[in-house]
Amino acid sequence: MLSSRIARLLAPTLLVVLLWYLTALVIEGWRGVPFPTPLESVQRLGQLLLGLPLNQHSIYRHIAVSLQRWLGAFSLAALLGLLFGLAAARWQGFRLLTAPIPQLLLLVPGLAWIPVALLIFGVGEAATGFMIALTAFAPIALATRDGIRQIDPAYLRAGRMLGATERALFRQVALPAALPALLAGMRIGLGNSWRVLVAAEMVVGSGSGLGFSILESRWNLDYPAAMACILCLCLLGLLFERGLFGSLERVTLRLWRGAPEA
């Protein structure tokens, strides 16, 4: 029902706002440092949305630059991860040769790639894209490979009984059956790369972006602006994670696994 969905949305939101207010009160009373409240942060965000510049650019410019950086690098990581996973699932020799690579990449925190990115590309867009793509690649590659290899053998037997070739089985049976795992890997890659985007913009950015704006707001003691940028990051991340990939995952589960839509 619509009312229950609204309640599920409002309840955690109100809880976060309450904890935020309590944190602001505690920090101000304990350390004597003014901590931006939700109201102050929302008011600052409204000023920015109405055209007040932030670090010589509008908030829309910072959002657009961050999205452009992330979308380009994540799209590359998704393509390479899918190709890697498909190749590893289909050819045993390739799988045995490259099996440790995505697992090792998955164990390395995204921020650990900062010195590597700087050494290879220097300060600039290429270093930022390298870090984003590298952290998104591993979960997508692993999910694609394991999703295809772990499909129900009954699907393949049924396809062979109907006369399907190996190529047709791979394209029409294995790939659709692996879609839930594939989308789950992309959601994990999205979260990893979205977090690294902010850190990369702080360290190797080029004067714009939400991560860069958070760092600059800190140096300028404009903490409400920093919190406003964090709100933008949360809203954009939820839009992609829940709005796009969450919806795709629910539809895929309903179509291929018979699961009810949440």
Tens of pLDDT, residue by residue over 38-65, are 898 899 999 999 888 888 888 898 899 8
d(CA 56, CA 79): 35
- What mean pLDDT value characterizes the chain? 81
Q: Are residues 179 and 207 in the same domain?
A: yes
Which residues contact residue 144 at a Cβ distance below 8 angstroms, ignoring those fewer than 6 apart?
81, 82, 84, 85, 86, 88, 89, 178, 181, 182, 185
Q: Are residues 62 and 190 in the same domain?
A: yes
- What average pLDDT score do residues 93-109 get? 85
Indicate the pLDDT class of residue 77, thresholds 50, 70 and 90: very high
Instruction: Please indicate, yes or no, if residue 57 is contained in any of the structural domains.
Output: yes
User: Which pairs with CB-CB distance under 8 Å and at least 24 residues apart come from 165-174?
Assistant: 170/90, 174/89, 174/148
- What average pLDDT score do residues 236-243 get? 80
Running DSSP on this structure, what letter comes out for residue 261? Answer: P
Q: Are residues 210 and 246 in the same domain?
A: yes
Q: Is 142 left (phi over 0), alpha (psi -120 to 50) or beta?
A: alpha
In this structure, what token pair is assigned to residue 184?
């789950």
Comparing 109-118, 133-142, 185-194, 251-260, the range with the smallest average pLDDT is: 251-260
Q: Are residues 99 and 165 in the same domain?
A: yes
Instruction: Please indicate, yes or no, if residue 262 is contained in any of the structural domains.
Output: no
Q: Are residues 80 and 20 in the same domain?
A: no
CA geometry: angle 204, 209, 215, nearest 5 deg: 65
Q: Are residues 30 and 50 in the same domain?
A: no
Domain with residue 217: its CATH number is: 1.10.3720.10
Instruction: Please indicate, yes or no, if residue 134 is contained in any of the structural domains.
Output: yes
- What average pLDDT score do residues 172-193 get? 80
Instruction: Please indicate, yes or no, if residue 103 is contained in any of the structural domains.
Output: yes
- What average pLDDT score do residues 230-246 get? 81
Indicate the pLDDT class of residue 79, thresholds 50, 70 and 90: very high
Candidates 79, 49, 1, 24; CA nearest to 235 is 49
Instruction: Please indicate, yes or no, if residue 229 is contained in any of the structural domains.
Output: yes
Return the axis-axis angle of helices 2-31 and 38-49, rounded to nearest 10°.
110
Q: Is the pLDDT of residue 76 over 90?
A: yes
Parent domain of 6: 1-35
Number of domains forming the structure of the chain: 2
Candidates 230, 225, 192; CA nearest to 211 is 230
Q: Are residues 108 and 167 in the same domain?
A: yes
Q: Are residues 85 and 28 in the same domain?
A: no
- This model's pTM is above 0.85: no
